[in-house]
Amino acid sequence: MPVDPQLFPGEQLPFWNSLTPEEKEFVRGNAVFRQYQKGEMIHGGEQDCLGLVLVLEGELQASILSQEGREITLFRLNPGEPCVLSASCVIRQITFHTQITAEKDTRLLILRSGDFSRLTGQNIYARCFMYELLTQRFSSVMWTMQAILFQGYDRRLAAFLLEEYHKTGSPRLSMTHEQIARNTNTAREVVTRMLKRFASEGMVELGRGFIRLKDLSALEDLA
């Protein structure tokens, strides 16, 4: 769907104020809105190289899939956050394959790969943004790998629950054990066992389809 120039959220693009009037008009004229349903893949597998994406509503999850079929969540993207890993055909330095899916019903602003390539080729600020964002995502990936390899699962789970609390502002998290397992890179059974331990220690309360955080200080100490 073409973007209405009057509704174009250019200020959410970090490099927007560094574009010339002609470049702003180019972005407005070529960017599109797209809607994705929960669980739908937006990049990866047989999908074409998408380009620069900006999350307007919803949530995306970036992951990699092993040959054995194990999925590892690398990071998540929330409203206002851009991603360039979906522009792997533009950025030669991206040599690994990621899969990006919608964790919720999601609305994106997309500057398709050819248009994004043209913009970064002529505007140094857009190009610097691209490489700075790649560095940030690489740091996120390395943190995830470090946590998986060197951090006990109790600490990882506590950190994840606190992250969700700070994101939503509510101690009541509407998440299943399966969803938590996917986001913390472990099996559902491991999540269930650890949450039962947290509940026995008074840190959380478990309900059907939700978890309520009861002792934030204890979770922070553990994380």
| Strands of the sheet with 60-65, listed across from one edge | 41-43, 99-102, 60-65, 71-77
* 16-66 pLDDT tens trace: 999 999 999 999 999 999 999 999 988 875 556 788 999 999 999 888 876
CA 206/CA 64 separation, integer angstroms? 30
- Residue 101 and residue 60 in contact, taking contact as beta carbons nearer than 8 Å: yes
Please choose, from the candidates 157, 187, 185, 189, the residue with its C-alpha nearest in 3D space to the C-alpha of residue 173. 157
CA 211/CA 195 separation, integer angstroms? 9
* 154-180 pLDDT tens trace: 999 999 999 999 988 999 999 889 889
Structure tokens at 178: 């399966």
CA 160/CA 156 separation, integer angstroms? 6
Exposed, middle or buried by CB within 10 Å (0-12, 13-18, 19+), for 71?
middle
DSSP 8-state assignment for residue 162: H
Predicted TM-score (pTM) of the model is 0.71
173: left (phi over 0), alpha (psi -120 to 50) or beta: beta
CA 150/CA 146 separation, integer angstroms? 6
Domains of the chain: 5-148 (2.60.120.10), 151-222 (1.10.10.10)
Mean pLDDT for the stretch of residues 81-85: 86
Residues paired with residue 206 on neighbouring β-strands, in sequence order: 211
CA Rg, the chain, in Å?
19
**Strand pairing of 99-102 and 60-65?**
antiparallel
* 88-113 pLDDT tens trace: 666 655 556 778 899 999 999 999 98
Name the H helices within 61-209.
Answer: 113-122, 124-150, 153-168, 177-184, 188-200
* 182-215 pLDDT tens trace: 888 888 888 999 999 999 999 999 988 889 999 9
